[in-house]
Structure 1
Amino acid sequence: MSFIKQVLAVFVAFVLFVVLGILIIVALFSSGKEDVSAAVKENSVLRLTLDNEIIERESDKLFDGLLDPRGAASKIGLLELREAIQEAAVNDKIKGIVIEIKFANTGIATWKELRDELTAFKKSGKFIIAYGEMYTEAGYYLASVADEIYLPESGMLEFNGIGVNMLYFKNLLSKIGVKTEVFRVGKYKSAIEPLVNDHMSDEDREQVHLYINSLYSVMLNDIASSRNIPLASLKNISDSMLVRNAHDAKKYGLVTNVAYYDEMLSSLKKKLTVEPDQEIDFVSYKKIIKGKPEKTTSSEPHIAVLFANGEIQSGKGDNETIGSETFCTDLRRLREDKNVKAIVLRVNSPGGSALASDLIWREIMLAREVKPVIASMGNVAASGGYYIAMACDTIVASPATITGSIGVFGLLMNTEDLLNNKLGISTDREKTGLYSDLGSLTRPVTDAERMIIQNEVNAIYATFIRKAAEGRHTSVETIEVHASGRVWAGKDAKENNLIDVFGGMNDAVMLAAKAANMGEKYALVYYPEQKNQALIALMNAFSDDEEAKIKTFGAYYTHFKTLQSLPKYQGVQARIPYFMEIK
């Protein structure tokens, strides 16, 4: 029976290997670049269908549509959208843009950066038309830049302000027998509050109230400018929720046309002088990007744009996390590469490990000694995300970026009651020293241990604000006024000297080029190299990689291995009589 299983396993692996090989060959042959002029027909329109999450950039296109079963429903890259819009502005065959806004999801800073790109596009004299059946607040923010905004009669437009709803788990943890122990510095450091509170603290409510109002003021100012509506009137429309249907939206000037999709197409055909029975030549952003010439290679002088996306952690990272080991290696290579004349660090991170953040900070400081390093903040660059950004020569951020949160916290959970009384699992321990099992999840923290951990958290915070003061060329006392874990919108962060200038990635790149004396013509190369997540998942499915399993189960990996081995505990065993973990 065992032999048959082995033969079948080899056969299945062989078949998968052949299939994967065929997919790779097909993808390689189909991924060749075609000239934009050949890919785009005369009198075309760039159609941006925003129907999924908008992320910083997309993964490797080699296996698009082959390994991703969702195909066109994959996540949308801000970088790719911006490049397509820039190409559309200079391509004479493209007459304008139609934005179809569905349920795209992203942060307000990303919406603003995309919106600013569309605003720049309008300088070309070409049109922008927006169509949506259900505009969210953020979706309408983008649509408001258009020359014409369409909404069907039965459609909806949300325009009543933004709010924050928080979930709190204190009572849940109490019911299942889990006690939390928090160590923090900064009264505004609210990341752990959902675990220890059942409502917003006064400090958290204060900071949330300020930053959501700041974010909304950014949106309202941009909308008022685009729609030519007085700001006070626009705020009253929102506060009173005067727009409750499509006709209200037209009445108050938020949309230009109450019309259906086919009516929008008919109007567009007239604009393009296309016959009513002819089809409009729409071109997708993916097609434009595919048709663009190959980007500059790393062997030529260039500005390196290094993406720091996701939570910060020790070890290796991936497309969605910042691993200090791999990220520091990337920074080191860029620092030593003579073809890299400047570095733009694109930060979109809520933070993470204090140790990993500090290691990355050190590598950025070393890079600064050799070449300019400019930070470009995306939707969020807070806590650890701010820690790595503050090491740069200049910090560029959107007024809608969420940043700051200069604070530190630690968290321990005591699961003794859950294990003993709820699950019937007993624990016991033996140790060589008084603090050998410090951080154990199966007993309360002692007063002495509590003091040790809190002192360590205090020390990390002191390091954080000292380095922040050095990076912002100010005193520790000044930084502390705006620290204590407080979150700021970019609009307020600039007033508090936590950032330098407003702008997006384009602005950061221009600053880097100027600092490196590269003139107006410069090349860009993006790092790190994107990996196709579908391919990685497929390869991992047939791997016994222990590191991958450790990453999945974290601190509980050894316990997982113990449970996994229980079926083998049959008959006479020659092994130690209990599981023992050395810490």
Structure 2
Amino acid sequence: MKEFFKYVLATVVGIIAVSAIGFFLFFMAIGILVSSTEKQVSVQDNSMLVINLERQIVDRAPNDPFEDLEIPGFTQIKRIGLDQIQQSLEKAVYDDRIKGVYLKLSMTNGGMGSVEEIRNMLIAFKDSCDKPIYAYGNTYDQKAYYLSTAADNIVVHPMGTLDFRGLGGEMMFFTNMLEKVGVDMQIIRHGKFKAAVEPFMLEKMSEENREQQLTYMGSLWNHMLKGISEKRNISVEELNALADEVQTLKKGDDIVETGLVDAAKYKDEVLDDLREITGIKAGKGVPVVEAGKYASVEVSGKSKPYSRNKMAVIYASGDIGTSMGGEVIIGEKIGREIRKARQDSSYKAIVLRVNSPGGSVFDSEVIWREVKLAAEEKAMVVSFGDVAASGGYYISCPADQIVAHPNTITGSIGIFGMIPEFSELLNEKIGISTDVVETNENSNFLSLTRPMTEYERQMMQQNIEDGYDIFISHVAEGRGMTKEQVDEIGQGRVWSGQNAKEIGLIDEFGGLQDAIEIAAEIAGLENYRTVALPEQLDPFQQMLKAGSDNIRTRYMKNKLGEKYRYLEFLEKASQMNGIYARLPYDLNVN
């Protein structure tokens, strides 16, 4: 028996030792991989700055050690931050090594607000120097084309296409499916435009929802047409006529004839153009540097002097309070960042960058309170990205100023609750019955295995009404309006940034840099430095964060592509708990 325990103990010790060694070797290998990605960026003379907009566009560059690793059998989603593009273009103006900008376009993986922000950056670059911008794509989607019109030359592949047909959006409706499986979604909402719940109660859009979509989508399209018209010298009427004809299936030379692009060229011809721009001899490779890497390069004459005055730029991206592996805004976390900046005397101003369709009312209230307190003590400016709606607007309304793009999606001032009821599925479909014991009349409040009672429904409706009243009260206080005025433009209705400025929901058009400059002006700052918050994880921490859920999310995104949004919508709906202030649907404008 003694020998038995000795061998068992030796085996256990051996397993632990091997596991520890394997664990150590794993992290050592990861460390080698990470360090291999941190090579010094070299910028050659006569280089082109490459902005690859086929990458997923995010507000803030990720500090992800796996971002550019090529792992066999696993396609990585590559991202580029708006901050990287901004920094790169600002430096390229002064850097004699950079001779021009090359836009790599096809399918632009960013929202309308992000596209607008990058386009404005490119226009500002052209206004600051005489270096050319060259856009090339095998194909162009509508957002990519709109962005490309900031370039001096727009070139498409001879067999490439340009999608130009006007904007359209679609919603999925799950009512019939839920009925077939025996699930009833019990809906409580305030606002005739609050259409987040429509996929679970209707088979098609309500007239109110159709009206709001046509209004803001028309605003987005008209803004795009105006920008294209100014840069391409084609009238808005002509552009609409081209869209009505649908240009999507036309090939290179036919697209050139419309005036939408300048030339149709193969890649070798494009490279010849780039050699001419950079002064490189024929047959030689064109030196390039990617914006994501160039952003970290020190450029002589561009560095700002150190300043003790700090401005906090706090990023709030994703659903508020809940997520399915993507970005998420946690009320306590973002609230803490705002509070720390408010209480730190070295921070003279705060800019909150919001890119969110909304979410949990509770988390929204936590952030709203901190924004309100900060606005009472310091310059507090909010910058909207692609979308800042419902809860995203809720957390922003106390700010001194709100800055958005004309094609930002915002508004959606409304609240809803959604309680699934599974009794038919359980009892009739799969044969499961339930029974209840309770000490009080309503101990079994809001059970998922039976329909709501009239008392429960009244309580829920009152809760929604109270929440809506708080929401419009916050907006009225923050925007200097009456509750009646807010209610008139509220009701869950979605607006474009252009519409929002007309009705007083935002103050100025612009991007994050504009918001920073406004905050500096309010605070009376001439010299300052910006500090991005929350602090990003270091590469090792980021690696630990990339657990099974994150890997699963990335895998599903790679496999499903654009259709991933349908899976994401269903999973988010299944996670909802409590009262929500959220955009009426997951918006997909194409």
TM tier, smaller? 0.7 to 0.9
With over 3 angstroms needed to count, the CA separation of the structure-2 counterparts of 1:188 and 1:68, relative to structure 1, is farther
> Of residues 147, 151, 158 in structure 2, which corresponds to 1:153?
158
Moved more, 252-261 or 9-18: 9-18
Distance 1:2 1:98, change over 3 A: farther
- Counterpart of 2:110 in structure 1 is 106
Q: Hey, what does 1:116 align to over in structure 2?
A: 120
Instruction: Report what 1:400 is aligned to.
Output: 407
- What amino acid does structure 1 have at the position aligned with 2:311? I
Q: Which of residues 273, 280, 302 is equivalent to 2:310?
A: 302
Is 1:497 aligned to residue 497 of structure 2? no
CA–CA separation in structure 1 for the residues paired with 2:362 and 2:17: 44
Shift of 1:104: 2.9
Q: Secondary structure at the match of 1:355?
A: helix
* CA separation of 1:117 and 1:295: change in aligned 2, threshold 3 A: same
Distance 1:455 1:7, change over 3 A: farther
Q: Distance in 2 between matches of 1:10 and 1:185?
A: 61
- Distance (Å, rounded) in 2 between the aligned partners of 1:422 and 1:312: 35
Question: Do structure 1's residue 139 and structure 2's residue 144 form an aligned pair?
Answer: yes
The question of whether the paired residues in 1 share the 8 Å contact of 2:100 and 2:278 is answered with no
Change (3 A) 1:28 1:260: closer
Task: Say which is worse superposed, 16-25 or 461-470, in terms of deviation.
Answer: 16-25
Q: Which amino acid aligns with 2:370?
A: E
| Residues in 1 aligned to 2:17 and 2:178: alpha-carbon distance in whole angstroms | 47
2:275 maps to what in 1? 269
- 1:226 equivalent to 2:231? Answer yes
Alignment of 1:340 with 2:368, yes or no, is: no
Query: How far did residue 193 of structure 1 move?
Result: 0.4
Equivalence for 2:544: 535
The amino acid of 1:44's aligned partner reads S
1:246 partner letter: G
Per-residue deviation at 1:9? 6.1
Matched, 1:291 2:294: no
The Cα offsets for residues 367-417 of structure 1, whole Å up to 9 and x where unpaired, read as 112211100000000000000111211000000000000001001010111
- Structure 2 residue runs of 5 or longer lacking an equivalent are 1-6, 552-571, 578-590
C-alpha distance in structure 2 between counterparts of 1:280 and 1:164, whole Å = 40
SS at structure 2 position matched to 1:153: strand
Deviations 1:246-272 (A, max 9, x none): 223211211101111111111221232
Deviations 1:304-355 (A, max 9, x none): 10001011117x9997101111111111111111111111000000000111
Distance 2:433 2:304 in 1: 61
Distance of 2:550 and 2:254 partners within structure 1: 53
Q: Are the counterparts in 2 of residues 177 and 418 from structure 1 also a CA contact under 8 Å?
A: yes
Query: Is the 8 Å Cα contact of residues 163 and 247 (structure 2) preserved in structure 1?
Result: no
Note if contact 2:37-2:68 (Cα within 8 Å) is conserved in structure 1: no
State yes or no: 1:49 paired with 2:52: yes
Name 1:193's counterpart in structure 2.
198
Match of 2:559 in 1: none
Separation in structure 1 between the aligned mates of residue 500 and residue 506 of structure 2, nearest angstrom: 6
| Post-superposition offset of 1:51 | 2.0
- Whichever residue aligns with residue 179 of structure 1, its letter is D
**CA distance, structure 1, for counterparts of residue 416 and residue 304 of structure 2:** 43
Distance 2:305 2:16 in 1: 42
| Residue matched to 2:583 | none
Change (3 A) 1:2 1:472: farther
Supply the distance in 1 between the matched residues of 2:243 and 2:288 (Cα, whole angstroms): 35
Bigger drift between 44-53 and 425-434 goes to: 425-434
Q: Structure 1 residue 313 and structure 2 residue 356: aligned?
A: no
Aligned partner of 2:259 in structure 1 is: 253
Question: Which deviates further from its counterpart, 121-130 or 245-254?
Answer: 245-254
Whole-Å separation in 2 of the counterparts to 1:32 and 1:265: 26
| Structure 2 letter corresponding to 1:99 | L
SS at match of 1:96: strand
Alpha-carbon distance change, 203 to 85 in structure 1, aligned in 2, over 3 angstroms: same
- TM value normalised by structure 2: 0.86
The structure-2 alpha-carbon separation of the partners of 1:176 and 1:217, relative to structure 1 and needing over 3 Å to count, comes to same
Cα distance, 1:467 vs structure 2: 1.1
Moved more, 12-21 or 112-121: 12-21
Change (3 A) 1:258 1:449: same
Higher RCO, Cα 8 Å, sep 6+:
2
Structure 1 residue aligned with 2:61? 58
8 Å Cα contact 2:412/2:494 also seen in 1? yes
State the number of aligned residues. Answer: 542
Whichever residue aligns with residue 507 of structure 2, its letter is D
Distance in structure 2 (CA, Å) of the matches to 1:298 and 1:267: 40
For residue 514 of structure 1, what is the aligned residue in structure 2? 521
Matched, 1:353 2:360: yes
Change (3 A) 1:192 1:73: closer
- Paired amino acid for 1:45: M
Deviation at 1:157, TM superposition (A): 0.4
Supply the distance in 1 between the matched residues of 2:279 and 2:340 (Cα, whole angstroms): 53
Secondary structure at the counterpart of residue 338 of structure 2: helix
TM superposition shift of 1:554: 6.0
